[in-house]
Amino acid sequence: MNTQQKKMFTEIQDKSLFEQAQKHAFQYLDEAFQRTIFPTEDALEKLSIFDEDMPQNQSEGREVIELLHQYGSPATVPAIGGRYFGFVTGSSLPTGLAAKHLATYWDQNSAMYVMSPLASKLESVVESWLKSIFHLPDTTVAGFVSGTSSANLCGLAAARNRLLRNQHWDVNSNGLFGAPNIRAVAGCQAHSTVIKAIGLLGFGQNSIEFVEVDDQGRIIPDLIPELDNRTLLILQAGNVNSGSFDDFSRICEKARNAGAWIHIDGAFGLWAGAAEQLKHLTQGMEFAHSWAVDGHKTLNTPYDCGIIMCADREALTEALHMTGSYIVVSKDRDGMFYTPEMSRRARIVELWATLKYLGASGIDQMITTMHERAVQFADEISALDGFTVLNQVVFNQVVVCCDSDEITNKVLEKIQALRECWVGGSVWQGRRVIRVSVCSWATTSNDIATSVRSFAKAQAMLEIIA
């Protein structure tokens, strides 16, 4: 045993490194729900401590952990709390965090059954739970990926595979040069990750046939061009600004009958389908062929949790297929066949733990509560002079603007500087807007009231300056 090994065996045996990390983690949890929602200027400046040349020599483990705690932790964004409304950013359930904590020590590679029978088992179980939560066809399979960016890519790859197969073209072997033409149709407010996937898959972003949307960002069904069995139709459950849903019940069955492949980007919105009060929003989505959804947004699993679900197993696995002489295909589930990656951490552990903890009724309650908090926000902010809500708050998103783009920008800047809540900006119907995304189990009525007060405070500060 060399001295390096000796040192690390000692670290394993005496556990003090792990205790130190755990102590800091617990302190973080104690503070995260009260802390300023964005790092202070001081914390941001001190990040320069990390600017150093690649160290020549080994460090002490406890110094490494201490650096992370002392300078890393204050420069994090504590989105786990109830007043982070930026982008569409989920919190984490305590049980999900704890499961991840335990699984950290397991450090499983979930590529194949033989590499982690546990991960394989949990993936099979969660696949069947998801089918039942979302009422998807029996043939549906699921792949566990890093997020909806990746899940969209997988769904569209499956579509490409199937649509070209139907034209007697094997895209894996023959590529796209000289292939029969495949059309891609999407709403003109499709998420940027969908557009990216279209580019990556070689369809050509310029060839997308964009369909006009209504004032909520929903595809206007009557404007969808003629569909056929060479068409990929991309729909959306949850517009990233307004939270609106395409009208699946009007679109999907018809598109399916025309032979088109339907992919639904439901990164955060698909979970509406798991709530009694909200599931009318996703009605008809079961006629699609592939669905992309995140665990780490509305479901509040820890980060790095996306899911591709596909009713056409063969199309998905063929699109993502790989082989190697050392690969042992088992009779049990080998997760890598449903994802682009081979080695993957066992993110399924946190996803399973979150679903097991909540149960169907717990998911329903959590999602419904997020919706209610979004409605509360919209009601309270509209009651103030100078703020207007521009969208129908059908789910968890609220789009707010002030009397002019200039004022909206300034108010947004002040809200961010106050650090009592965090919201981002966007452009909606040609206007600068503030986006509020309620996406945390921890958001209470008080958090909403505090945040609305922060909006008012920001506005008042501007008036004083003017």
Ligand X SMILES: *Cc1c(COP(=O)(O)O)cnc(C)c1O
Residues that bind ligand X (CB under 6 A): 88, 147-149, 191, 193, 238, 240, 265, 267-268, 294, 306
Please report how close the Cβ of residue 446 comes to ligand X at its closest, in angstroms. Answer: 27
Please report how close the Cβ of residue 186 comes to ligand X at its closest, in angstroms. Answer: 12
Return the SS3 of 188.
coil
Please report how close the Cβ of residue 189 comes to ligand X at its closest, in angstroms. Answer: 10
In this complex, which beta carbon is closest to ligand X, that of residue 194 or of residue 252?
194
Amino acid letter, residue 362? G
Return the SS3 of 351.
helix
Query: Which alpha helices (H) appear in 1-140, and where do they start and end?
Result: 3-14, 16-32, 41-45, 61-67, 94-106, 117-134
DSSP code, position 68:
I
Residue 194 CA: distances (Å) to CA of 62, 140, 245, 424: 43, 21, 16, 21
Please report how close the Cβ of residue 264 comes to ligand X at its closest, in angstroms. Answer: 10
Tell me whether strands 431-437 and 231-236 are parallel, antiparallel or unpaired.
Answer: unpaired
Please report how close the Cβ of residue 361 comes to ligand X at its closest, in angstroms. Answer: 25
Task: Give the CA count within 13 Å in the CB-facing half-sphere of 376.
Answer: 17
In this complex, which beta carbon is closest to ligand X, that of residue 191 or of residue 371?
191
In this complex, which beta carbon is closest to ligand X, that of residue 162 or of residue 191?
191
The secondary structure of 193-213, three-state, reads HHHHHHHHCCCCHHHCEEECE
Please report how close the Cβ of residue 11 comes to ligand X at its closest, in angstroms. Answer: 34
Residue 113 CA: distances (Å) to CA of 83, 86, 121, 140, 345: 40, 38, 8, 20, 13
Q: What are phi and psi of 183, to 5 degrees?
A: -95, 145
In this complex, which beta carbon is closest to ligand X, that of residue 252 or of residue 267?
267
Residue 186 CA: distances (Å) to CA of 72, 237, 268: 41, 13, 18
Amino acid letter, residue 91? S
**119 contacts 339 by C-beta, under 8 angstroms:** no
In this complex, which beta carbon is closest to ligand X, that of residue 240 or of residue 260?
240
In this complex, which beta carbon is closest to ligand X, that of residue 65 or of residue 237?
237
In this complex, which beta carbon is closest to ligand X, that of residue 21 or of residue 197?
197
In this complex, which beta carbon is closest to ligand X, that of residue 187 or of residue 238?
238
Please report how close the Cβ of residue 332 comes to ligand X at its closest, in angstroms. Answer: 28
Please report how close the Cβ of residue 397 comes to ligand X at its closest, in angstroms. Answer: 10
In this complex, which beta carbon is closest to ligand X, that of residue 113 or of residue 144?
144
Instruction: Please tell me the distance from the alpha carbon of residue 297 to that of residue 351, in angstroms, as a whole number.
Output: 12
Please report how close the Cβ of residue 336 comes to ligand X at its closest, in angstroms. Answer: 19
Please report how close the Cβ of residue 196 comes to ligand X at its closest, in angstroms. Answer: 9
Report, in angstroms and rounded to the nearest whole number, the Rg of the chain calculated over CA atoms: 24
Please report how close the Cβ of residue 191 comes to ligand X at its closest, in angstroms. Answer: 4
In this complex, which beta carbon is closest to ligand X, that of residue 21 or of residue 374?
374
In this complex, which beta carbon is closest to ligand X, that of residue 136 or of residue 308?
308
**436 contacts 400 by C-beta, under 8 angstroms:** yes
The secondary structure of 106-131, three-state, reads HCCECCCHHHCHHHHHHHHHHHHHHH
Instruction: Please tell me the distance from the alpha carbon of residue 277 to that of residue 279, in angstroms, as a whole number.
Output: 6
**129 contacts 299 by C-beta, under 8 angstroms:** no
